[in-house]
Amino acid sequence: MAIHPPSNRLWWKEPIHGIELAWIVIAFLWGLFMFFFMIAWHFIGQQNLSNETYKVKPEAYAERVEAFAAEFQATGDDGAPLEEDGVPVVRPPVGGDAYILARLWEFWPILELKKGESYRIHLSSADWQHGFSLQPTNINISVHPGYEHIITLTPTESGTFGIVCNEFCGIGHHTMTGRIRVVD
């Protein structure tokens, strides 16, 4: 109940003040601009990933990743397989497919890519929903079990890039990391 009720109880019949009308028009036009600009930014901003997603059985995907890692595992100068902390380093063929498996609590295997070459990176989870955040490039994807995400990636800088899980996945979430190396 108002202290001083309006003289006309039909509030929707009250005239709109000019300043209020101006702000309504500005807000409406800004909303339209943002709506269409978000669509346009997908094409001109070059920030949104155009990716493919397919249904896959988690067990079948894990087998495919293990076969990929066994086939393309990198070797050192002495011919021994390269590993870091027990995780194989894999060199996929230039322009080919590369596979990463997210599982409690790691991204497996470590990829070694060539700078300036394009690769199709396949991502899926064996168990829970995980986040794939490639640092510091601002590539972020939610990785779900049962779905295979494919992104086309062309590294433009050499170095080691970290992969971080940015979806809480349990008690070991804070340790869930991986790496992609880019060499000249």
- Nearest by Cα to 133 from 169, 85, 183: 169
Residue-wise pLDDT tens digits, 75-128: 988 988 999 988 999 999 999 999 999 999 999 999 999 999 999 999 999 999
pLDDT (mean) for 13-28? 89
Please say if the pLDDT value at position 6 is more than 60. Answer: yes
DSSP 73: B
Predicted pLDDT of residue 14: 76
pLDDT (mean) for 153-159? 92
DSSP 92: P
pLDDT (mean) for 45-72? 88
Q: What percent of the chain has pLDDT over 90?
A: 66
Instruction: Catalogue the E-assigned strands of the chain.
Output: 52-55, 83-84, 87-90, 97-103, 106-108, 110-114, 119-125, 130-135, 139-143, 147-153, 159-164, 177-183
Q: Are 93 and 118 in contact (CB under 8 A)?
A: no
φ, ψ at 65 (rounded to 5°): -65, -40
Query: Across the strands, what pairs with 148?
Result: 54
Mean residue pLDDT across the chain: 90
Task: Name, in order, each residue with C-beta under 8 angstroms of 143's C-beta and a sequence gap of 6 or more.
Answer: 102, 123, 124, 125, 129, 130, 131, 132, 149, 167
pLDDT (mean) for 17-29? 93
Predicted pLDDT of residue 117: 94
By three-state DSSP, how is residue 18 classified? helix
Predicted pLDDT of residue 16: 79
Predicted pLDDT of residue 1: 56
Q: What is the CA radius of gyration of the chain?
A: 25
Sorting pLDDT into bands at 50, 70 and 90, what band is 48?
low
Please say if the pLDDT value at position 51 is more than 90. Answer: no
Q: Are 124 and 149 in contact (CB under 8 A)?
A: yes
Please say if the pLDDT value at position 50 is more than 90. Answer: no
